[in-house]
């Protein structure tokens, strides 16, 4: 049966490259502190007013060009993000309009850091069933919207003003430094079509809702009346709440399990994997996963050092870099994997 193959990729980044040293201007942190805990050296943030769907447009255009197709060939959009432009609608139809596409279906996925592996299974199923022939699959995020920084802090961070913010504002924002140093704004796009050779071999996906509050946003939900309030803002409840130890423990346990599971389901062993591309949440997590699986350095790819955690965009960005640098070569067995809020996790095998 024909499966989904990747025939084009593209990425786009926020306009502002922000190093750890720059973050230290407005947060009680240091380059050493951030690198030791996450491996991150820099990240990108968009200019104020740029939404996730805006960031997705250049990534999609690059993927279309790379695939050598006409944008009119796209007959389905799948858009994975946890940071949509609006509470609703999702970014799918917004991207459809901005690309000037016809009234094709536009499906939005809210699977957070597992957006790519979940979305890949959806795209593969759509193509295998004949519901779509050419899919634009985008993972994109603008995390800067939940940064607890005042306008003066943003301006000082980005060298728009020489005036240092009040220490009280810096102290208030520093309460969230374990999260705010991790994220960046970026988009990754893939063009997927059906192919008789290679492509998606299969996916194994899981969820564990009992752990949902280990990583979630305790605001802007419809269990509240109104769903967002001044009190929520004052309490910083728009910033993700994270039990870092629980997330780390789950990732280093469940991701290797899913990888072994998907390999076994398709008569492979972990040693058969030529390249592992895991979600880029934390370099220490990925190093632990690599160690658990016994994979050598030349069989894993990490780029969180340069982009931070870009949630649904991390794996598409890695794929783009690996395709264009020659790290992904025809015939290789590639594994994609990740865990995110929900908890949601899984792994997928792909034959290049």
User: Which residues are designated catalytic?
Assistant: 113, 279, 309
Burial 97-116 (b: 16+ CB within 10 A, else e): eebebeebebbbbebbbbbb
Query: Quick one: DSSP state of residue 183?
Result: B
342/216 Cα distance (integer angstroms): 8
Peptide bond into 226 cis (omega under 30): yes
The DSSP bridge partners found for residue 23 are none
Which of 251, 218, 241, 212 lies closest to 337 in space, CA to CA? 251
Contact residues for 56 (Cβ-Cβ < 8 A; gap 6+): 12, 79, 91, 95, 138, 140, 187, 189
The DSSP bridge partners found for residue 351 are 199, 333
């Amino acid at each position: 049966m024909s499966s989904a193959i990747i025939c084009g990729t593209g990425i786009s980044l926020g306009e502002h490259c922000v190093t750890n040293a720059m973050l230290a201007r407005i947060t009680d942190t240091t380059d050493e502190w951030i690198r030791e805990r996450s491996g991150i050296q820099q990240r990108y943030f968009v200019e104020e007013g740029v939404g996730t769907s805006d960031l997705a447009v250049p990534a999609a255009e690059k993927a279309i060009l790379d695939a050598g197709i006409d944008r009119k060939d796209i007959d389905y959009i799948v858009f994975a993000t946890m940071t949509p432009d609006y509470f609703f609608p999702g970014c799918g139809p917004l991207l459809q309009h901005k690309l000037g596409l016809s009234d094709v279906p536009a499906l939005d996925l809210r699977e957070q850091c597992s957006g790519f592996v979940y979305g890949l299974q959806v795209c593969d199923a759509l193509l295998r069933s004949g519901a779509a022939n050419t899919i634009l699959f985008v993972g994109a995020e603008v995390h800067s919207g939940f940064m607890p920084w005042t306008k003066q802090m943003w301006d000082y961070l980005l060298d728009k003003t020489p005036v240092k913010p009040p220490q009280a504002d810096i102290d208030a924002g520093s309460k969230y430094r374990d999260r705010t140093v991790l994220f960046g704004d970026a988009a990754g796009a893939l063009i997927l079509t059906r192919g008789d050779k290679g492509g998606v071999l299969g996916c194994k996906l899981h969820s564990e809702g009992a752990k949902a509050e280990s990583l979630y946003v305790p605001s802007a939900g419809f269990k509240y009346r109104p769903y967002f309030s001044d009190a929520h803002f004052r309490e910083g409840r728009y910033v993700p709440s994270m039990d870092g130890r629980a997330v780390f423990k789950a990732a280093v346990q469940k991701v290797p399990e899913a990888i072994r599971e998907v390999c076994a389901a398709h008569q492979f062993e972990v040693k058969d994997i030529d390249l592992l591309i895991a979600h880029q949440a934390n370099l220490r997590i990925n190093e632990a996963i690599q160690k658990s699986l016994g994979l050598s350095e030349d069989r894993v790819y990490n780029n969180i050092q340069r982009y931070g955690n870009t949630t649904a965009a991390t794996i598409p960005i890695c794929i783009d870099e690996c395709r264009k640098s020659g790290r992904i070569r025809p015939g290789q067995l590639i594994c994609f994997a990740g865990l995110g809020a929900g908890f949601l996790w899984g792994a997928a095998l792909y034959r290049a």
